């Protein structure tokens, strides 16, 4: 896929996920500390989008744009559409909202963003990533919120699995990021 088109889609996904989190943060039926959690998540997404929006000026020095399948983008699109529809429901429970958050943060968008930054020379990619809010903090925030605010054991296991997946993914990226090597991003079958 053309890097400009891929970047446009990544930025759009970040903005849409931010709007989902802002919608959740504005729900008066959720306790203030839970609404604050979604405000933090929305701010992280705003920062993700802002960094991505700065990278078009660097496209000419991108070593290897990530190869992203239309299928991977379609899966992500379906998840975002489902979340956008769900947050508009007046009877959305806190656990359902956390389920949506886990679905959105299940590493697919994050892995696409990561692959995007790794398409640059290691020094530029590292600089761009350093400007992002710490991804570990972002994912840990989700896991901690589910553990603190939900009594649903299935959600708590999903949050723990998200953390494990994130850690494995980070290990893989840190050991396989070879300059000049094209990153191919795929998503697991859902």
- Report how far Cα 134 is from the mean position of its chain's Cα atoms: 12
Q: pLDDT value at position 145? A: 95
The model's pTM: 0.79
In 91-141, DSSP assigns E strands to none
Reading the block at residue 124, the tokens are 């530029």
Distance between CA atoms of residues 163 and 128, nearest Å: 23
Architecture of domain 3-180: Up-down Bundle (1.20)
β-pair type (67-68, 184-185): parallel
Q: pLDDT value at position 159? A: 92
User: Which residues in 79-103 are b (16+ Cβ under 10 Å) and which e?
Assistant: bbeebeebbeeeebebeebbbbbbb
Per-residue pLDDT of the chain (190 residues), as tens digits, is 677 788 888 889 999 999 999 999 999 999 999 999 999 999 999 988 887 887 766 666 566 667 777 888 888 899 999 999 999 999 999 999 999 999 998 856 666 666 656 665 555 445 555 544 566 788 889 999 999 999 999 999 999 998 888 787 667 655 544 444 444 333 333 3
In sequence order, the 6+-apart residues with CB closer than 8 A to the CB of 184 are 66, 67, 68
In sequence order, the 6+-apart residues with CB closer than 8 A to the CB of 156 are 146, 147, 150
Q: pLDDT value at position 55? A: 72
Residue in the structure block whose two tokens are 């993700």: 48
Q: pLDDT value at position 149? A: 95
Q: pLDDT value at position 134? A: 63
Q: pLDDT value at position 185? A: 39
Going from N- to C-terminal start, the domains of the chain cover: 3-180
């Amino acid at each position: 896929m053309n890097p400009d088109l891929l970047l446009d889609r990544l930025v759009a996904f970040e903005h849409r996920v931010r709007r989902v989190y802002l919608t959740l943060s504005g729900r008066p039926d959720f306790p203030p500390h839970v609404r604050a959690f979604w405000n933090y998540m929305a701010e992280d997404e705003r920062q993700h989008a802002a960094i991505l929006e700065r990278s078009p000026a660097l496209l000419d020095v991108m070593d290897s744009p990530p190869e992203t399948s239309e299928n991977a983008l379609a899966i992500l699109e379906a998840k975002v559409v489902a979340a956008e529809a769900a947050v508009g429901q007046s009877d959305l429970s806190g656990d359902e909202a956390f389920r949506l958050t886990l679905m959105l943060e299940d590493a697919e968008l994050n892995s696409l963003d990561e692959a995007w930054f790794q398409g640059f020379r290691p020094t530029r990619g590292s600089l761009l990533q350093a400007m992002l809010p710490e991804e570990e903090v972002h994912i840990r925030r989700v896991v901690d919120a589910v553990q603190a605010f939900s009594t649903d054991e299935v959600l708590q296991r999903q949050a723990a699995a998200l953390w494990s997946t994130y850690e494995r993914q980070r290990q893989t990226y840190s050991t396989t990021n070879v300059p000049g090597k094209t990153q191919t991003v795929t998503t697991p079958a859902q």
